Every structure is written in structure tokens, then in C-alpha cells.
Structure 1
Amino acid sequence: MSSFFLKGLTGEVVTINDPNYESSRQEWNRAIQKYPLVIVYCERKQDVVNAICWAQRRRVGIRIRSGGHHYEGYSIGDLVLVIDISRLNGLTLDKKHHRLTMEAGAKNTEVYHFVGSKGYVFPGGTCPTVGVSGFTLGGGWGLSSRRYGLGCDRLLEIELINYEGGIIKASRYCHPDLFWACCGAGGGNFGVVVSMTFQLPKPRTKPITLVRFFYVGTTKKKQEKVMDIWQKWLPTLDKRMTLVTSFYSADGEGLGIFANGFFYGSPNRARKLLEPFMKVEGFRLELEELPFLDAVKKIEETYPPSEKFKSTGRFVQRHYSKQELQAITELIQQPAKGSVYAAISFYALGGAIKEVGSTDTAFYYRNARYILGFQSVWVKNSAASANQKWVRERFEYIKSITEGSYVNFPISNLQNYEREYFGENAERLERINRRYDPYNVFRFPQGLR
């Protein structure tokens, strides 16, 4: 590609002729294989400005990438310009006001280690290499959410570069409509977020309890029983505890149940809260009292460097009957050919998440009970089509018993996706998008229109 064609781009510019193009174009989900025209690793805000202006002059589509963890790969694309902000990852802490300002390329692990080493907690995500900006702009569920709210609930201010290359600072007091929209619907829309400021909880001297439990000798009936216990137990759960519980079928292991999470209290109290699950035979509980940062590290260790998967998530709004629980567990009894792991996962909502109104931020589904995640993981490329089809077919049943999809757990080909992701906030979001991106420069599959 000629230097004349690339004139105006700054930062590290990667094209198909570069030896590191193959590694640069890879998303965390290796099932996503897209071939962008240009990838720009931005190291200054001006690099982002230059990339936006270049793309418009050349009439090239734009994708915005931080951690590269978008489930459907919308942070990359074929024949587009990828604005990669992962090197914009500076972090500063205002100890007096307990505020964290981060450049928007910082990853979960970088933020956790920065604040955790100083005695703070941060309500971030679970996977270490997820970009905190993408996590937050989509709402941001994590293992501290029932205690401290979603990631977006701690957001005070954003700095965004718009379609003209101008820098906008948005908060509750300045461009409040844009700030509202970015608290749950900002990923890829409106512009490129380059900086975020969060209000941190006050420093914590007490350790937290890392919770893990599983069952030996799992059967389909046992999975149904534990699901039923979960749905009865969660509505009155102490908001200091946030768990995700997975019901799975794994190659070489068979059926299983595994849960992990954080409890901002003692192991003894955690044990008491989990007593309903002990009634099912085979229950095994592991509780560790640890500093927040050590607990985060234990969670981080469970993630591989990459995977090939198809995954999504929907909001559960009601109690399920025995017949419905049987149908839910039936979904994973026969995994797709080549699957090494198929799972239904329940991500706990409620607590501090519910204390914010459905229209107070763009994250609409505040009153949902939990997120029902669904996924299949494979290793061989030849298994991709069968696994993707397997998830898509079963998604239709999940959609029929749930209301709304979580935008951070998206799925392609979702009808009326704006309404599905943003509920009654969708129309307001479309109006805000027309104001801040009138020419739809930041368009992508399932972007606001």
C-alpha cells in the first residue's frame, strides 16, 4: 500500500504488507477472522483525530478497538480502518477525591493492579484483557456489581473525539445527553472515547471472600435443582455477594456446575448465605479470604489467552416453571460436534444495579433478575459452522423466555436489535446519535441508526 495513500495517518500504521498484520488483526475470539485495510495503533489523542479525518477523506469505514473482545467481532471488519486505542492506557489516581482517570485503552488487569495495589477496589470485568472502556460503555457487569453497581454507574466523565475530530468532554453537567448515552450504549457509537474518570469506592482495608462452589456427580436433574434454588435464592441475597453460576457439558468431563464470585464480607457469612445450595448432594465449597487484588488475580488465572466461541446473553425477568427449567437444561445435553465446552451461565443482577432507574442511564434492564448467558467453545476450525449453528438454533428458545439482550453479550442477526439491547431507551439513543454523529461516521453492524 503506497505511502501517499496512507498520508495523514500517525501512530503505528499496520497494513496487509506488514509482517505483524496477521497478529494485529486477531480478536480474542479466534472464530472471528476479518481483514481490515489499515490498523492504526494510536499512542496520542491526535493519532485518533488523524485516523478519523483520514477515513472520512478516503471514504473508508471505521471500527474502534480497545481490548478486541467483542463477541461478534464488531471492533474489526473487512476493508475498514481499525482505530486501536490499546496503547492509550495511562492511569492516574486522585487519592484526595478517590477518583481514577484512565486513558480508554486500559485493560481490566491494568486497572485492577493499579488501584488494587493502592488499597482500592474497582467494579470492573472478569477477563483480564477486556478493555475497560468497552466494558463500561456497554454497562459493565462484573463480580462487584451487586455491591458497587455496574461499571457505568461509577463513571463521572468521558472525553470523546467526534466525527469532526473535535474533543468533547461529557458528564452529568456538560453534554449530559451524550454522557447518559455512553452509560450503557456507547460502545462504537457517537465517537472514539479516549479518556474516562471514575469515582472509586473508598479504600478498603478488610479482605473480601472469593467464593467458589461446584458439585461432584452432576446430572441433568441436579442442574435443574440448582437452577431452581438459584432463582428462589437470588431475589433476597445480600447485595455484598455477586456470583456467576455455570451449568455445562465439557469434553472429557461431562455435565458440571461451577460458580464463582466475590463477597464483601467474611467467609462465615458467605457460607451461611450459600446454605440453600448445600441441600443438593455433591456440593463442594471453597472460600478464601483475600485482599481484593489477590482475589482478582485468582479469577484472572482461569482465562486462556484466546478462544474460539459463539456466545450471547439475555435478561431473565421472571421465575421459571419446572418444565421451563427442564427445557433450559436440555439445551446443553447434546453439544455440537467438535464442542469442548457448552454452557448456560447465570450472572447475578439486583442489589446496587437495581437501585438505579431504568432510564437514569442507557442501561435499561435494571430490574432483571439475572443474565442468562449461553455459549459453545471449540478448538478445530472445522467445528466452527456446526457450533455457531447449534448456538443460533437454541438461542430462539432462550429468546422466547427472556426479555432483552445484553449489549456486551451480543449476537448477530438479532431482529429489532436496538429495542432488544436498549429497551425503551432506544428512541432517545437514536436522537442523541443523530445529534453527535449526524453523518453516521461511526457505523457498524448493530450500531445506532
Structure 2
Amino acid sequence: MYQDPGFLKGLTGEVVTVKDSVYDEARQEWNRAINKFPLVIVYCERKKDVVNAICWARKHHVSIRIRSGGHHYEGYSTGDLVLVIDISRLNELKLDKQRNMLKIEAGAKNTEVYDLIGSNGYVFPGGTCPTVGVSGFTLGGGWGFSSRLYGLGCDSLIELELVDYQGRLIRANKYCNSDLFWACGGAGGGNFGVIVSMTFQLPEPTNCPVTLVRFYYVGTTSEKQAQVMNVWQNWLPGLDKRMTIVVSFYNAEGEGLGIFATGFFYGSSARAREILQPFAEVEGFRVELETSSFLEAVKKVEETYPPSEKFKSTGRFVQRRYSPSELKHIADLVQEPAAGSVYAAVSFYAMGGEIRCVGKRETAFFYRDARYIMGIQSVWTEDSAAEENREWVRGRFEYIKSITEGSYVNFPINKLRNYECEYFGENAKRLDKVNKKYDPYNVFRFPQGLR
């Protein structure tokens, strides 16, 4: 195939195949536990490169994957013997201060957006990891440390441009191709076509300080983990919407059991301390509060992320309170990590606030009324430990699934039965209709894609 000099004819941008010295690095995802071997990787630098890649893939009957930041938990932005359309170099940003709007090309990453808007006095309800692609984050809904105050990532989206299966550029907003725009507010990742630009309505510039909240406990046991989980579920319903945090109940190599929380409070450290008082009543509580600009707070969070990891991770939506025995069972999930695990955790991501103010059917993101997301993960370093760690997560996921309702598509898990309903709830049927309209030949198919 590669010996045919005409095989790659029609592709533009930087084209990478297995013959190229950069192939091994180019095929990597952020999750280095994903080990796939694409046929061709195309780094698109213009919208025309995307059009050409789609037309080439259809001509040669090659499956397409779409990659922005390469952070898909299960690696669905790559695959074996596929064409990877990598849009990471389509990353131009335009800030309209007159209308408080931001237009980005769809390859832009969190850190690039934060640098621009933060240096101009704005905030942006993006994700936490600096190298996550904003488009992938947004198209799956998008949870971050500003979500309870400013909504999910998709709630700020006001327009997008997409290249469809025929290579046509389609504009979508509330008034034009509104069904496609609706679908991309929670179910757009990998479906319908290749997003090439997005426009966001930013909150008004504000001088409000951002307090970076971090707390932890000295001397943790499984009983204390369950106790803090109970504090969490009693505290969250009345939480000031200016605070969004995630609490992790973990078991780390060399450290053992622990509890750690981090997030943002849009206000003073004194008020943040008052809000956290219920946690302070559990013995061993320690808190660190640092007030700064939004951009400075974001940078401190970004510093905590490694350049890559090997992991299995997923998340479900919590709709109710749990009994003491259920909380104990949740805490017990991390008492015995898999062999080779360096970090295993159950994490609670706060929802509510402005997330709940949008109706379940106003966007494709259905689980608006969830109290929080419960995630489970395991991280390892040696390839020999991969399968055992994956099975560890999968086995414990079955219990979490039994006490929750719906899976978060940005925290996906493979082999999920009836995945369209699990990810999109009662919006699944409408999404299938939208998909048939905009991708009638299922050109943009991938594991767990809309069918």
C-alpha cells in the first residue's frame, strides 16, 4: 500500500505514516496506556486540509478518527489502520471585547484559551488539564472548576462550524441548523462531522478574586473516607454556586489512604473558609486557600498535571443520598488497589448551581439534575500492570453503576451496555435522528459513536 506513490494523493497538511520517523510520537495519546497504530495521521493546518482528509478517507474506504488534544479516556480519537484527522494546529483565537465573545479554531487547548482570555480580564469555564482540547471538552458537556457558577463548557457555546461527510462547511447555532447545534451541546465528540471552529459568549469581565481551594486530611482511614463522603453529600445541596470542587478518596503507592480536594471559589478566602467549615469538623482537616486572579489560579492547577499518564478512569452521575453502608462500600473500593497501581481513587465532582438551570432537553447533555459525578480510576507505570488495573476499574465500576444513573461521556468506559442511553438518557433517540440527517452513511463512526 505504502509502495504506491499515489496512495496519499489528495491529502494536504502534514501527512504522517509508519514510514516517518515521527510516527511513534505522533500516534501517542495523552493516556499512554492507549497503544494504537493508525494508517495515516494528518495534521490539518487549514479547513481545506480537513475537507481533503474526509474526501480521501471516503475514497479509500478508511475509517476516520478525530483528534484535538488526544485526551480521550478510551482512545477513541485514534485507532488501528484508521485515518486520524488531527486538528491541533487549527488553533487560532480571536477575542471580541466589544461583544465579550471568543472565537476559536477547534484545535485550541485549555491553556491557550486561558492565556488569552485571562490576560484580558475574562474568565472561561473550561477544563482543568492544560492540554485538553477545548472542542472535545465542550462537545461532551464540559465540567470544570467554574461550572457551578458559569455552567458547563457547552452552555457558553453560541456557534460552531463543522465539516460534514461530503466536505461541506456547515454553520450551526440556535437559528441555523439548530438541531445540529443542540446535539453538539453534549454529544458532539466524534459524531456528525469535524468541528473546525467554535464561538463562545464570555461572562462580563470581572475583578472578582478567585480563591484556589485545596484541603486534605492527615491520618486517613477507610472509616474517615466514608465519614467525609457523608459530610460531602449533606453539604453539597446548599453549596454557594461560586464554589466548584472535586474531592478524591484515594490509595497511593508509598502514602496509603488519603483524601484531597481542589477547586475554585469566586470570592474571598475568608468566605471560602466559612463554607468549608463542615469538613473542618472531621479530625485531621487541613486547608490551603490562595486568592489571586483567575489566570494565576488556573496556572497553579495546570502545574499539577504530568505530561502524560497510563490510566483507566470513568465516571457516573449521582442522583441521591447514600446510606452509611453504601458509603462504606464506596470507600472500600480503594482499600486494595490492583497490583502495579501507583494511584487508585474514587472522586466526587460537584454539580448543581448553574448546570441545573439549563433544562435536560435544552442541550444534548441530559443529566442536568445530578448532584455530582462519581469517578473511579487507577494509574500505573509498568505496561505489565495494564490489564490487571483495567479489570480492577471495570469490576468496581459495576458496583458504582448499580447505585448511579447515567455515564458521563467525557469520562467514558468501553464495553458499556446500551451506551447511547447511558450517556445521553432520554435525548438518545433525538440524537440518532440528528446523526442520520447530518451523517447518513455513518462516515464518522467509532466505538460508542452514535449509530
TM beyond 0.5: yes
- The normalised TM-score by structure 2 is 0.99
Superposed CA offset, 1:144-188 (max 9, x none)? 000000000000000000000000000001000000000000000
Any unmatched runs of 5+ in structure 1?
none
Once the two structures are superposed, the pairs formed by residues 36-51 of structure 1 within 5 Å of their partners are: 36-51=38-53
Quick check: 1:343 aligned with 2:321? Answer: no
Match of 1:199 in 2: 201
Once the two structures are superposed, the pairs formed by residues 299-318 of structure 1 within 5 Å of their partners are: 299-318=301-320
Q: Name the amino acid aligned to 1:133.
A: S
Counterpart Cα distance in 2 of 1:206 and 1:137:
28
Counterpart Cα distance in 1 of 2:262 and 2:282:
17
Displacement of 1:207 in angstroms is: 1.6
Counterpart Cα distance in 1 of 2:290 and 2:174:
39
Find the residue that maps to 1:354 and give its secondary structure: helix
Displacement of 1:206 in angstroms is: 2.6
Once the two structures are superposed, the pairs formed by residues 111-190 of structure 1 within 5 Å of their partners are: 111-190=113-192
Counterpart Cα distance in 1 of 2:198 and 2:315:
26
Find the residue that maps to 2:377 and give its secondary structure: strand
Counterpart Cα distance in 2 of 1:399 and 1:345:
14
Q: 1:298 aligns with which of 291, 300, 303?
A: 300
Match of 1:101 in 2: 103
Counterpart Cα distance in 2 of 1:290 and 1:210:
8
Quick check: 1:358 aligned with 2:360? Answer: yes
Match of 2:386 in 1: 384
Counterpart Cα distance in 2 of 1:168 and 1:139:
21
Counterpart Cα distance in 1 of 2:91 and 2:419:
31
Quick check: 1:332 aligned with 2:334? Answer: yes
Displacement of 1:48 in angstroms is: 0.1
Find the residue that maps to 1:223 and give its secondary structure: helix
Once the two structures are superposed, the pairs formed by residues 402-413 of structure 1 within 5 Å of their partners are: 402-413=404-415
Displacement of 1:21 in angstroms is: 0.1
Counterpart Cα distance in 2 of 1:302 and 1:227:
24
Counterpart Cα distance in 2 of 1:204 and 1:260:
22
Displacement of 1:205 in angstroms is: 1.7
Superposed CA offset, 1:45-67 (max 9, x none)? 00000000000000000000000
Displacement of 1:3 in angstroms is: 3.0
Match of 2:257 in 1: 255
Match of 2:441 in 1: 439
Any unmatched runs of 5+ in structure 2?
none
Counterpart Cα distance in 1 of 2:106 and 2:247:
30
Counterpart Cα distance in 2 of 1:3 and 1:203:
54
Q: 1:237 aligns with which of 236, 239, 251?
A: 239
Once the two structures are superposed, the pairs formed by residues 81-92 of structure 1 within 5 Å of their partners are: 81-92=83-94
Superposed CA offset, 1:163-221 (max 9, x none)? 00000000001000000000000000000000000000011223211100000001111
Counterpart Cα distance in 1 of 2:212 and 2:339:
35
Once the two structures are superposed, the pairs formed by residues 215-294 of structure 1 within 5 Å of their partners are: 215-294=217-296
Q: 1:213 aligns with which of 204, 215, 218?
A: 215
Counterpart Cα distance in 2 of 1:361 and 1:300:
29
Find the residue that maps to 1:214 and give its secondary structure: strand
Match of 1:428 in 2: 430
Displacement of 1:313 in angstroms is: 0.2
Q: Name the amino acid aligned to 1:205.
A: N
Find the residue that maps to 1:312 and give its secondary structure: strand
Q: Name the amino acid aligned to 1:414.
A: L
Q: 1:71 aligns with which of 42, 57, 73?
A: 73
Counterpart Cα distance in 2 of 1:225 and 1:389:
28
Say how many residue pairs are matched: 449
CA RMSD of aligned residues (A): 0.4
Counterpart Cα distance in 2 of 1:198 and 1:228:
37
Superposed CA offset, 1:51-102 (max 9, x none)? 0000000000000000000000000000000000000000000000000000
Find the residue that maps to 1:332 and give its secondary structure: coil
Counterpart Cα distance in 2 of 1:206 and 1:339:
41
Match of 1:369 in 2: 371
Counterpart Cα distance in 1 of 2:5 and 2:155:
44
Q: Name the amino acid aligned to 2:102.
A: L
Q: Name the amino acid aligned to 2:187.
A: A
Structure 1 segments of 4+ aligned residues over 6 angstroms from their partners = none
Find the residue that maps to 2:357 and give its secondary structure: coil
Q: 2:12 aligns with which of 5, 10, 13?
A: 10
Counterpart Cα distance in 1 of 2:370 and 2:208:
30
- The normalised TM-score by structure 1 is 1.00
Q: 2:63 aligns with which of 58, 61, 64?
A: 61
Q: Name the amino acid aligned to 2:405.
A: E
Superposed CA offset, 1:356-402 (max 9, x none)? 00000000000000000100000000000110011111111010000
Counterpart Cα distance in 1 of 2:85 and 2:64:
7
